[in-house]
Amino acid sequence: MKQQDVSRRIATPLVNPAYPPVVPRFTDREYLNIVYRTDAEALRAVVPEPLEIDDPLVRFEIMRMGDVTGYGPYTEAGQAIEVRHEGERGEYLHAMYLDNFPATASGREAGAFPKTVGSPALYVDHGTLVGVLDYGTQRVATATMGYKHHDLDPDEATAQITVPTYMLKMVPGFDGAPQVAQLVRTEITDVVVKGAWTGPARLQLFAHVLAPMADLPVREIVSASHILTDLTLAPVKPVHDYLAR
């Protein structure tokens, strides 16, 4: 294989890449979002500068992907923290757990999404929308919401999905020191809201050393939403370089 051929490859293993060379389109992506207030001190311990925190709000999310170009269906759960950067309000992606290895690998390598393995699920049970996350055999989170109790304004649903998002892009060198350490920003613009609802909700987080969602404890439920969409992820761009001199 020629050098120029190697340089065109996007992922390892070289002849059997972990993820396909596609920009994924998400069809019937279904969200359960629960926004809750937590301890400000807990957020300050995990949110990197230069991001700033005002109200200590966290959005717990479960996303069931009906179909994704190149990856197929899968489910994902995570936490996003409300932040501010240079006067712009957005969310910092704190943690993401999913049950699809190619999507995990591409999210971390081609993007900057903080993805790792987990077993999330989203389903309806006796008039309740239920989202759960297991890590191995242990339950990490249980979220419940009244199923389609009230319609949610589509513009509000769109605003929730298209909020600017910040992430850390970390690439270690062979000596263990960071080779890339950047704060990056992305914002979804290509989205179609097919349905949106709100209702009462509850959230339980259980302590786990390798899935420490409960380190951001639930103090008060602020809002909840259930949204069905089609969308395409947008590219990321660096906004802060931690290694710049």
Non-local CB neighbours of 111 within 8 Å, separated by 6+ positions: 167, 186, 233, 236
- DSSP symbols for 51-95: -B-SS-EEEEEEEEEEEETTT-SEEEEEEEEEEEETTEEEEEEEE
The answer to whether 205 and 218 have CB atoms below 8 angstroms apart is yes
2 is catalytic: no
Query: Among residues 2, 115, 169, 237, which one is catalytic?
Result: 115
Distance CA 36, CA 56 (A): 8
Residue numbers annotated as active site: 115
